[in-house]
Amino acid sequence: MVMSGKLTKKLVENLGPGRHGDGNGLYLVVDPSRARRWIVRVTVKGQKNRKGAPLRTDFGLGGADIVTINQARDRALEYRRMAKQGLNPRFNAHREVPTFEEVAQQVHIDRMPTWKNQKHGQQWINTLRDYAFPKIGRMPIDSIDQPEVLMCLSPIWTEKHETARRLSQRIKIVLDVAKSKGMRSGENPVTAIKDAQVLPKVKAKPKHHKAMRWQDVPAFYADLKSRNAMSAHALRFTCLTGSRTNEVLGMRWPEIDFDARLWTCPEERMKTGEPHRVPLTDEMLAIIDPLRDLRSELVFEGQTRHKPLSNMSMLMLLRRMKVEGITVHGFRSTFRDWASEVANAPREVAEMSLSHRVGSEVERAYARSDLLEKRRSLLEQWSGFITNGRSSEGADG
């Protein structure tokens, strides 16, 4: 029989962060991430803690998205009855084994605060939703073994290998979490499959963005400079900075320090998840300074007020210029080739100019400088080469 308490279904769905009591030791815990779970606090009769006081313990009853308020009350009542009889619920409670999908959804909720960004968190669960849930989502978490994992991986292992690789990692995490919570035992089947090399080796195909030869950039840039479209301004700035498309198109005025001649792209737009400082040359400033008169929130505003240009705008401009087989991203490779072959720039300076991480985590921990002034010198040379094709001396090493 379910006992009514203080909480209602509506409250369960809408209460803010904190611990909310339902009565009789049952609580709804809402994390700052808005994840919701049930716990029950009981005092086990006749058992003492290390200090000699009655053993009072909290037990998790499951996520509120999986366990309803009435189910939580039933389970809490079962735990209290056992505690009154001197039985520790941790070892005596009858637990229903959750499904793979239930555990995966809870893992996703629990890890929300750790995601690099919301998009990455959504991609994590979407991979499982698309390729694992249809096959093993409803299976009890303790019944999943190698054949079940292979049902998910085998159909896409060759055709969509990168997706399959990520899927295997995410299935492994879900099963590891389930084991840590006592829901299953034994070796993780994903590990066993990998160790036994059950699936064939697939040679990863590197993704190359078609790039313009650095020798052709000055003539291309001269043509580009003769155009007054916003996409042309954005593409000029992209070529000069070696930045990624989304970094440039999302650029806002507060990110620019005109006195210091510096643009700081925030972490949310950076692939590395860390802010990146870009030194601004005279040519870069000549592009963006006149755009301040537009009084837009964005530096490169699209057709809609205070909205950025489309991601395809610069690529479409290349097509209108009859520049075929070249991608916008490819200008990063063009800059890297020039930096190596012409400017003789040290590797770490060239790589940091492209916001690439250099060295191991340990090396990066000690090398705290982002080599700003050396990168400024390199970009000054690059701007000079692009605008008039002059020869450049080696970058300051």
pLDDT in tens, 112-170: 777 766 777 788 999 999 999 999 988 888 889 999 999 999 999 988 898 999 999 99
Q: Three-state SS for 129?
A: helix
Backbone angles phi, psi at 153, to 5 degrees: -85, -40
The torsion of the CA quartet 171, 174, 180, 181, rounded to 10 degrees, works out to -140
Separation between Cα atoms, residue 17 and residue 28, nearest integer Å: 10
In DSSP terms, 262 is beta-bridged to 257, 279
Q: Are 233 and 191 in contact (CB under 8 A)?
A: no
In DSSP terms, 155 is beta-bridged to none
Residue 126 structure tokens: 């979407």
Separation between Cα atoms, residue 313 and residue 310, nearest integer Å: 5
Higher pLDDT residue, 365 or 26?
26
What does the mean pLDDT of the chain come to? 86
Q: Are 376 and 337 in contact (CB under 8 A)?
A: no
Backbone angles phi, psi at 25, to 5 degrees: 85, 0
- Measure CA 211 to chain center: 27
Q: Residue 208: its pLDDT value, please?
A: 56
Residue 240 structure tokens: 């000069």
Q: Are 142 and 208 in contact (CB under 8 A)?
A: no
Separation between Cα atoms, residue 232 and residue 349, nearest integer Å: 27
Of 349, 329, 333, residue with least CA distance to 394: 349
Of 178, 168, 169, 173, residue with least CA distance to 148: 168
Q: Three-state SS for 284?
A: helix
User: With pLDDT > 90 as the criterion, what percentage of the chain qualifies?
Assistant: 49
Higher pLDDT residue, 355 or 389?
355
Query: What DSSP character marks residue 298?
Result: B
Sheet holding 262-265, edge to edge: 256-257, 262-265, 276-279
Separation between Cα atoms, residue 29 and residue 35, nearest integer Å: 8
Residue 82 structure tokens: 């056992």
Q: Residue 47: its pLDDT value, please?
A: 75
User: CA of 16: how far to CAs of 28, 64, 185, 270, in Å?
Assistant: 10, 14, 36, 31
Structural domains in the chain, sorted by start: 9-92 (3.30.160.390), 100-196 (1.10.150.130), 214-388 (1.10.443.10)
CA atoms within 13 A on the CB side of 348: 15
pLDDT in tens, 259-309: 999 999 998 899 888 899 999 999 999 999 999 999 999 999 998 888 999
Would residue 24 be called left, alpha or beta, if left means φ above 0 and alpha means ψ between -120 and 50 degrees? left
* pLDDT classification of 5: cutoffs 50, 70, 90: low
Q: What SS3 string covers 9-46? A: HHHHHHCCCEEEEEECCEEEEECCCCCEEEEEEEEEEE
Higher pLDDT residue, 134 or 370?
134
Range from 24-28, 180-184, 191-195, 325-329 carrying the lowest mean pLDDT: 180-184
Q: Are 25 and 40 in contact (CB under 8 A)?
A: yes
Q: Residue 259: its pLDDT value, please?
A: 95
User: CA of 385: how far to CAs of 163, 222, 250, 345, in Å?
Assistant: 41, 12, 27, 14
pLDDT in tens, 83-119: 888 877 766 665 567 889 989 998 888 887 777 667 7
